[in-house]
Every structure is written in C-alpha cells, then in structure tokens.
Amino acid sequence: MSLTPEKTVLLESKARDIRRSIVEMLIEAKSGHTAGPLDMADIFTYLYFHALKHDPKNPSWEYRDHLILSNGHICPVLYATMAYAGYFPVEELKTLRKFGSRLQGHPHREWLPMLETSSGPLGCGIAQTVGMALADRINNGRSSSKQFYCLVGDGELDEGNNWEAIMLAGKEKIQNLTVIVDRNNIQIDGFTEDVMPLNPLVDKWRSFNWHVQEINGHDFRDIDRAVGEAKSVFDKPSVIIAYTIPSKGIPEFERKFEWHGKPPTTPEEIKSALDAVRTLGGRVTNSDHS
Amino acid sequence: MLNPSQQLNPKIFDSDVEQVSIRKGFGEGLLKAAQMDKNVVGLCADLIDSTMMTGFKQMFPDRFIEIGIAEQNLAGVASGMATMGKIPFMTSYAMFSPGRNWEQIRTTIAYNNVPVKIVGSHAGVSVGPDGGTHQAIEDIALMRVIPRMVVISPCDAIEACKATIAIAQTQDPTYIRLIRGKTPIITTDDTPFEIGKAQIMFKSMPAHAGQEGQDSNFNVGIIATGALLHTALKVAQKLEAEGKKVIVMNLATIKPLDTDAIIQLANQAGAIVTVEEHQIAGGMGSAIAECIASHKPVPIEFIGVKDQFGQSGTPDELIEHYGMGEKDIYVAACKVMLRK
C-alpha cells in the first residue's frame, strides 16, 4: 500500500493529535517521560495508521502483525496511538499512571490485554520478539505473512541482552522481524555518546548479520520506504535506525536530554508545552490552557 | 514404616538400590510431554546433553532452539514463544538460569504470566568437583519469592518424569529443580504425584493404634525436598527402631505450599525438621517456617547450607561437610524433640 500525499497529510494530522495527547496526559500524570514519546510519535502513527495489519476491535486477531515496545517508558506514545486507532477511548488517556488505571506507568499486558507484552526493564524486547517470530515460524514456516516489529531506544542498547537476541536473530535469519531504533542520542544521564558510545552503530548491527537502514524518523515517506524495504529482505532480519529529535514538537524542550524522564510541571513549562502542541507555536488559534 | 499407600520402591533401603539422576527423569518426561502436546518446545543454552535435551532435539528438531550461552536471552525468547501459545521448556544449569536471568524471568515470564517452564539442572552442592561457582544453593529462594511462580523439586528420576509431564499441562510459570548426580530411586510408577500436594512417605504406627483423630502421637516430623528425602527416610527408620514415632513428608512442590498438610503435620508431630540441599535462608525450610509460624508454631530445626558458598569435592564429602548428612538430620531430630 503506497503512501499517497493525501495519506501523508492524514498521518501528519494524526501525529499532531497524538503529540497533543502525550503532553496533556503527562501534565495530568505529573510524572513520566517526555522526550521519547514525542520523538517516536511519527513512527507510531505510521505503523498504526498505515503499516500494521491489525484490528483494534479484535486485538487478538490471529493474523495480525505484532508490535512490541521494548523501552516501555515511552508508553504514552503507545497508549495515545492505540487510543486514536480505536483500541480504547481517548478519554482514558487521562488515567495514565493513576491508581487502578489500565494505563500503568510501564505497560502491563495483564492490565491491558491488547498489548503483546509487558515492558519497562530495558533490553528485553528484542529477545521476546525473536521468540514470537520463532514460534510463528514453527506454526507457519518461513513464508509466514505476519510481520513482527520491535521498537527499542538507543540508550537501551547498552543492555547486553539486546546483543544476545540480535545475534540469535541473525543466526536464525528471521526475515519477518523489523527492529526500529529510536536514535535520539539521549539517555537519562546525558548524550548516548558520552554515557556509553554506541557508534559505529550501523556497523555493529551489520556485523551481526542484519539488514540495516538509516532514516529520518520524522519523514513519513522515509519511514514508509524503509519499512517496505525491510519487509522485502528475505535472508536477514532488518533494523531501521531512525534519527529523531528528542521532545519533537516542543521547540524549547527539543534535543535536551534533561527531558528524557520528566514531564512539564512548572506553569512556564506547561505553557510552553501546551502552546507548542495545541497551537503549533501560535500558528493555529487555540490558546486554551485549562 | 514406609507409607504403603505411596507404593514406594521396595528396595529403597537396600545397599544396592537403583540410582538414577533426577535430570534423566526430566529428559524422559519432556519427551512424553512433547509427544502429548505439539505446543511443547525446547530451548537450551549450550548444555543439550547435560540438561538431557538430546532426545527432544533429535525427535523434534523443528521445536528446538539452541540459544547459545545467553541465559538472559533464553528467558526472553522463551517468554516470546509462550505468548504465541507455546509451552517452552528452557534448560540450563540452575546457577545460570535462574541464577543469572532473574529479572528477565520476573518481568517477561512471571509478570507477563506466560507458561514458561524453567529447568534448572545441576542444583545443590552435589554438583561436586566443579566447585562453588557452579553450585546453585540459592535458586529455590530466588524463584519462590516471585508471585505466581510454581516451584518444584523432585526427589528422584521417576518423580521428575511425572512432574515434567504435569507442569507441561499447566499455564503457570514454573521452576523445576534438578540434580546432576545419580540418586536412589525412592518412588515407583505407581506413586501418586500431584502439583501442590505434599506426600507422607513414612509414618510410624501411632502410640495409640486405631484411635483416629489422635493428633499428637508422633515425636517428630521430617519434611524433605529433593534427593535428600532418601537420607531423611533412612534417619526415620533409625529413629523408629529406637522407639520414636516419626512422619516423613516429601515436599516436591515448594510453591504453592500444601499448607493444610504442613499444619496437620505440625499438629501431629509437634516438632519439625526441614531438609534441603539449599541455603537455609529463603529455601524450603523458610517456606515451612512462614507457614508454621502463622498457623501452628512448633519448634523447627533446619538442615541446609548455613550462609556459605560451596567448594570442590565429591557429593558425599560436600553433603557431609555442609551439615546435610544422615548424622546431621538425626541430631537435628533429637534436638527438636527436646525443644517440644
């Protein structure tokens, strides 16, 4: 399914809604992560509104594609995208991190059974996705029509378990597995290359026998081209290294690692954030900050 | 006397009692379970032969995944397979799984509530010459503190075979603990096994024979798990010959704990000795103590490793050195009876 200009406009509009909801739910929750959810909004939008074979009204549909979020702390973007896709009411997003909410601080499959897995502790998502794909191979063989997508953070690649799983996927030549790395260059303690250098990241993946692509994680045509190419590679698993701008959409927060793990809390921060996502920095008339 | 309803091995106390490794019973059980259910899959971390996966790999090559020396990945991949409807058995040495991959087991298996079966072989000091690095004596504690996790420690190869078949049929995350060396065959194919049920393997004739409902006619109750059950039974026989009234319980399922049976034993015996090849801290004895303290406080003596690491040696040397031999259990029984 090609990405038409009309569809691109639609995706851009959805991504705006999702970013607005992310900011609103974080302000309401008074805790949580800002940078990652905002920078992955375009990729989540693309996957849920264009690429994934899924049915929000029948989440356990047998023939669905599987999306696994490894870095569970960016779940506001997962929850917001799923709500807009029709999995649950958008209104429910305000319950994020509250007692009794299905929207736990890190995703829990028992609270929200439409999730493929629970996540939060970093470095475990690729292993689980490889396991799912191997189980699918036992069931459906190598011509399986299912696709498995695992979304990981770049800082998360410090965890050794990732590389164990990456090695196994290369060995098993899991052709229907696509990992998307959120290459936003930040983690809690600073920039990734200061905390623990990941570069040369492309060479690392390639040497583990993966098909590697690099994209602009905010360009829907770029995302579309890479996801399509990943699906067409048969003898290797695929990784898409998506370069993203942390806190994308709130200019004052963008590229600052300090926003990795906190929400806007002061009146000034809240005003900046809401101005940016509700009025696109004043380009749209809507100054309701209540 | 041995409990006739358990139909135990008649040669149990003979010097030439047959000895088979508990892990071998697992291997046989896995083959049977896999024949019964096509969703049973096997994963191994570079220890196919020693964790008894060879037969499974040969018979079901498409259902076997070699993970390599990567126990954290072993847990995560098994979890992913389980979410797709498989019943994964993941095997390694207990020291490395669940020793090294505890958090992956907690989050991706137990918190996720998927039916992965964690098979920890070569548990206990009886691994022997490999030394302390390879002797898992903390694994029961690690697993039983995780919500939902079922913890099973079979007493012999036959029970291990039955337990393996039984756990393959549940949707619960489960840990099963295996021993490397050959140990005496205690049970028979006819001995009942049920997950979560303690078994009375030895019971002296009560002081007032024929009076049902007499609760305090026994001098001591011994609760054992794993291969040391055999030693516990020998001690019971000796105590009985000395005129003591003894009950021996096999606690193959450490979690969920058969609290009714344990409370009943505390009522009947009034004093308990727990026996396990594991640290005293956090192990089966601790689970018993938690139960007894809440419901029926009676004195307990604990047989197990006393906050130490293992070392190289023969299994017999190590069992004796760390205070888990026949003499130690006997002394503990005498001591606990004096504390009544």
How far apart are the C-alpha atoms of B193 and A256, rounded to whole Å? Answer: 60
**Is residue B160 a part of any domain in this protein?**
yes
3-state secondary structure of A153: strand
Distance of CA B40 to the CA centre of its chain: 22
**Is residue B269 a part of any domain in this protein?**
yes
**Average pLDDT of every residue of chain B:** 96
Choose from A161, A162, A176 for mutation: most chain B CBs within 10 A: A161
Chain A residue numbers with beta carbons less than 8 Å from the beta carbon of B100 are: none
**Is residue B222 a part of any domain in this protein?**
yes
Q: b/e string for B162-178 if b means 16 or more Cβ within 10 A?
A: bbbbbbbeeebbbbbbb
Chain A residue numbers with beta carbons less than 8 Å from the beta carbon of B83 are: 109, 116-117, 128, 131-132
Last-in-domain residue among B152, B184, B216: B184
Is B107 in contact with A129 (Cβ distance < 8 A)?
A: no
**Is residue B6 a part of any domain in this protein?**
no
Question: Is the per-residue pLDDT at A242 higher than 60?
Answer: yes
Distance of CA B169 to the CA centre of its chain: 19
Question: Is the per-residue pLDDT at A1 higher than 80?
Answer: no
Is A136 in contact with B84 (Cβ distance < 8 A)?
A: yes
Task: Tell me, yes or no, whether B178 and B212 share the same domain.
Answer: no
pLDDT tens digits, B231-254? 999 999 999 999 999 999 999 999
pLDDT of A24: 97
**Is residue B12 a part of any domain in this protein?**
no
Chain B residue numbers with beta carbons less than 8 Å from the beta carbon of A176 are: none
Is A135 in contact with B79 (Cβ distance < 8 A)?
A: no
Is B81 in contact with A124 (Cβ distance < 8 A)?
A: no
Choose from B41, B43, B83 for mutation: most chain A CBs within 10 A: B83
pLDDT class for B205, splitting at 50, 70, 90?
Answer: confident
Question: Is the per-residue pLDDT at B216 higher than 90?
Answer: no
Last-in-domain residue among B184, B213, B241: B184
How far apart are the C-alpha atoms of A242 and A257, rounded to whole Å? Answer: 17
In chain B, the largest separation of any two C-alpha atoms, in whole Å, equals: 60
pLDDT of A36: 97
Is B70 in contact with A135 (Cβ distance < 8 A)?
A: no
pLDDT class for A290, splitting at 50, 70, 90?
Answer: very low
Instruction: Decide if B65 touches A, using CB distance below 8 A.
Output: yes
How far apart are the C-alpha atoms of B42 and B63, rounded to whole Å? Answer: 6
What kind and span of H or E run contains B302? Answer: strand B300-305
3-state secondary structure of B268: helix
| Chain A residue nearest residue B110, CA to CA | A118
Quote the minimal CA–CA distance from A166 to chain B in Å: 10
3-state secondary structure of B130: coil
Task: Tell me, yes or no, whether B43 and B159 share the same domain.
Answer: yes
Chain A residue numbers with beta carbons less than 8 Å from the beta carbon of B103 are: 121
Chain A residue numbers with beta carbons less than 8 Å from the beta carbon of B108 are: 117-118, 124, 127-128
Question: Is the per-residue pLDDT at A286 higher than 60?
Answer: no
Kindly state the tokens that stand for A287: 């100054």
**Is residue A286 a part of any domain in this protein?**
no
| A225: Cβ contacts below 8 Å, ≥ 6 apart | A215
Task: Tell me, yes or no, whether B286 and B142 share the same domain.
Answer: no
| B248: Cβ contacts below 8 Å, ≥ 6 apart | B200, B201, B202, B203, B221, B222, B223, B224, B229, B232, B233, B236
Choose among B75, B80, B85: nearest Cβ to A130: B80
Domain containing residue B262: CATH number? 3.40.50.920
The percentage of chain B sitting over the pLDDT mark of 90, rounded to a whole number, equals: 96
How far apart are the C-alpha atoms of A258 and A202, rounded to whole Å? Answer: 26
Domain containing residue A85: CATH number? 3.40.50.970
pLDDT of B182: 96
How far apart are the C-alpha atoms of A100 and A96, rounded to whole Å? Answer: 10
- Beta strand ranges found along chain A (DSSP E): 66-69, 148-153, 177-183, 186-187, 190-191, 211-216, 238-243
Task: Say how many domains are in chain A.
Answer: 1
User: What mean pLDDT comes out for the span B200-225?
Assistant: 80
**Is residue B88 a part of any domain in this protein?**
yes
pLDDT class for A2, splitting at 50, 70, 90?
Answer: confident
Choose from A65, A122, A128, A163 for mutation: most chain B CBs within 10 A: A128
Task: Tell me, yes or no, whether B175 and B204 share the same domain.
Answer: no
Task: Tell me, yes or no, whether B58 and B178 share the same domain.
Answer: yes
3-state secondary structure of A183: strand
Task: Tell me, yes or no, whether B245 and B268 share the same domain.
Answer: yes
Q: Which residues of A fall below an 8 Å CB-CB distance to B? A: 108-110, 116-121, 123-124, 126-136, 138-139, 160-161, 164-165, 167-168, 171-172
The percentage of chain A sitting over the pLDDT mark of 90, rounded to a whole number, equals: 94
What kind and span of H or E run contains A18? Answer: helix A5-29
What kind and span of H or E run contains A132? Answer: helix A125-140
| A116: Cβ contacts below 8 Å, ≥ 6 apart | A66, A67, A68, A109, A132, B83
Residue pair A25/A79 in contact (Cβ under 8 Å)? The answer is yes
How far apart are the C-alpha atoms of A93 and A79, rounded to whole Å? Answer: 7
User: What mean pLDDT comes out for the span A218-236?
Assistant: 97
Backbone φ and ψ of A229, nearest 5°: -65, -40
pLDDT tens digits, B306-336? 999 999 999 999 999 999 999 999 999 999 9
Task: Tell me, yes or no, whether B163 and B264 share the same domain.
Answer: no
Is B111 in contact with A124 (Cβ distance < 8 A)?
A: no
Choose among A124, A126, A129: nearest Cβ to B107: A124
Residue pair B265/B258 in contact (Cβ under 8 Å)? The answer is no
**Is residue B288 a part of any domain in this protein?**
yes
Is A128 in contact with B73 (Cβ distance < 8 A)?
A: no
User: What mean pLDDT comes out for the span A53-62?
Assistant: 96
Question: Is the per-residue pLDDT at B171 higher than 90?
Answer: yes
Task: Tell me, yes or no, whether B224 and B312 share the same domain.
Answer: yes
pLDDT class for A104, splitting at 50, 70, 90?
Answer: very high
**Is residue A108 a part of any domain in this protein?**
yes
Is B76 in contact with A132 (Cβ distance < 8 A)?
A: no
What is the DSSP annotation of B22-75? HHHHHHHHHHHHHHH-TTEEEEESS-TTTTT-HHHHHH-GGGEEE--S-HHHHH
Question: Is the per-residue pLDDT at A280 higher than 90?
Answer: no
Task: Tell me, yes or no, whether B131 and B232 share the same domain.
Answer: no
Residue pair B125/B310 in contact (Cβ under 8 Å)? The answer is yes
Task: Tell me, yes or no, whether B30 and B157 share the same domain.
Answer: yes
- Indicate if the alpha-carbon torsion angle A189, A46, A214, B79 is positive or negative: positive
**Average pLDDT of every residue of chain A:** 95
Active site residues of B: 71
**Is residue B1 a part of any domain in this protein?**
no
Task: Show which of residues 38-57 on chain B sit within 8 Å of chain A, judged by CB atoms.
Answer: 41
Question: Is the per-residue pLDDT at A128 higher than 90?
Answer: yes
User: What are all long-range contacts of A161-164, with beta carbons under 8 Å and residues at least 24 apart?
Assistant: A161/A123, A161/A124, A161/A126, A161/A127, A161/B70, A161/B72, A161/B73, A161/B76, A161/B104, A162/A123, A162/A126, A162/A127, A163/A208, A164/A127, A164/B67, A164/B68, A164/B70, A164/B72, A164/B73
**Is residue A241 a part of any domain in this protein?**
yes
User: What mean pLDDT comes out for the span A105-124?
Assistant: 95
- The pTM of the whole model exceeds 0.90: yes
User: What mean pLDDT comes out for the span B281-291?
Assistant: 98
Choose among B77, B84, B103: nearest Cβ to A121: B103
Task: Tell me, yes or no, whether B145 and B283 share the same domain.
Answer: no
Quote the minimal CA–CA distance from B277 to chain A in Å: 31
Domain that residue B322 falls in: 196-338
**Is residue A287 a part of any domain in this protein?**
no
Residue pair B322/B305 in contact (Cβ under 8 Å)? The answer is yes
pLDDT class for B123, splitting at 50, 70, 90?
Answer: very high
Chain B residue numbers with beta carbons less than 8 Å from the beta carbon of A131 are: 76-84, 88
| B79: Cβ contacts below 8 Å, ≥ 6 apart | A117, A127, A128, A131, B88, B104, B108, B109, B112, B114, B116
Is A135 in contact with B84 (Cβ distance < 8 A)?
A: yes
Task: Tell me, yes or no, whether B207 and B324 share the same domain.
Answer: yes
Instruction: Decide if B171 touches A, using CB distance below 8 A.
Output: no
Last-in-domain residue among B156, B184, B212: B184
**Is residue A290 a part of any domain in this protein?**
no
The stretches of chain B forming alpha helices (DSSP H) are: 22-36, 54-59, 71-83, 102-104, 139-144, 157-167, 229-241, 259-269, 284-295, 315-321, 326-338
Question: Is the per-residue pLDDT at A289 higher than 50?
Answer: no
Chain B residue numbers with beta carbons less than 8 Å from the beta carbon of A71 are: none
Question: Is the per-residue pLDDT at B174 higher than 60?
Answer: yes
User: What mean pLDDT comes out for the span A177-202?
Assistant: 97
Choose from B74, B97, B108 for mutation: most chain A CBs within 10 A: B108
Question: Is the per-residue pLDDT at A146 higher than 90?
Answer: yes
Supply the angle between the helices A267-279 and A5-29 in degrees, to the nearest 10.
Answer: 160
Quote the minimal CA–CA distance from B65 to chain A in Å: 9
Note if the bond before A113 is cis, omega within 30 degrees: no
Domain containing residue B164: CATH number? 3.40.50.970
Chain A residue numbers with beta carbons less than 8 Å from the beta carbon of B62 are: 138
**Is residue A158 a part of any domain in this protein?**
yes
Task: Say how many domains are in chain B.
Answer: 2
Residue matched to tokens 């004596």? B137
**CB atoms near residue B289 (< 10 Å):** 16
Choose among A128, A138, A168: nearest Cβ to B108: A128
Beta strand pairing status for B246-250 and B199-203? Answer: antiparallel
